[in-house]
Amino acid sequence: MLIQKLLFPLLVLFAFAACEDDDDVTLDPTKDSGAPVAVYKDSSEGRTVVQGAYSGLCRTEDGITAHFRTEDLIPGNAYTLWFVVFDDEPGPPSSTYASGYVAGESGEATFAGHLRVGDGFDAPGTLTTFNTPLTAEVHLALRTHGPVQPGKIQIQTQTMDGGCTSGFPSGPLLHPDSDEVGYCANVQVAIHPAQ
């Protein structure tokens, strides 16, 4: 397990290094190849961009690698990042886990994840396996799991509903973040259009 925790960040770094000469991918938020990260503010305002936040998506024939850097998180809250992949055919998107993290005092966090061709989805929609890395529309959805709960940090940072209590917002829409125990909702998203 410790070896996996050490090797995974290196694999993500190598995957991005393989893309560094690709004009379609950059982690520089001033370039057009990244996607702004939007956060829900108020239903009358719609989505607003989190200043200083950005997302990059590296596409190769073997898969996609995501980098998602954000701010304005609630310190001590658990968060998960999800690949949400839309098929060429109409229908619901498919999603799978990318990364998890507990926000520190700064409220800033960086997430990274990789999805390989042939990988299955945790929540299949029209797709059961990932097979369109070069063309798929990919959303990176950040989900809050509320404050870390004793004995639940692993499920809060590695599963869709870890630590969640029923009665809170669900579905693909963005909702405000909260420091209420058991609150889970999608709070930020970066959209990488189909190529």
Residue 99: predicted pLDDT: 98
pLDDT exceeds 80 at position 72: yes
41-70 average pLDDT score = 84
Report which of residues 41 and 51 the model is more confident about. 51
Residue 40: predicted pLDDT: 54
Residue 25: predicted pLDDT: 38
pLDDT exceeds 90 at position 23: no
Spatial distance between the Cα atoms of 149 and 154, rounded to a whole number of angstroms: 10
Across the chain, mean pLDDT equals: 81
pTM: 0.81
pLDDT exceeds 50 at position 5: no
Q: Is the CB of residue 66 less than 8 Å from the CB of residue 113?
A: yes
Confidence of residue 4 (pLDDT cuts 50, 70, 90): very low
pLDDT exceeds 80 at position 13: no
28-33 average pLDDT score = 37
Query: How many structural domains does the chain have?
Result: 1
Task: Pull the structure tokens for residue 134.
Answer: 């070069």
Task: Pull the structure tokens for residue 4.
Answer: 């996996």
Q: Is the CB of residue 113 less than 8 Å from the CB of residue 81?
A: yes
Domain boundaries, position 108:
2-192
pLDDT exceeds 80 at position 105: yes
Residue 3: predicted pLDDT: 37
Q: Is the CB of residue 99 less than 8 Å from the CB of residue 112?
A: yes
pLDDT exceeds 90 at position 75: yes
Spatial distance between the Cα atoms of 89 and 193, rounded to a whole number of angstroms: 15
Confidence of residue 46 (pLDDT cuts 50, 70, 90): low
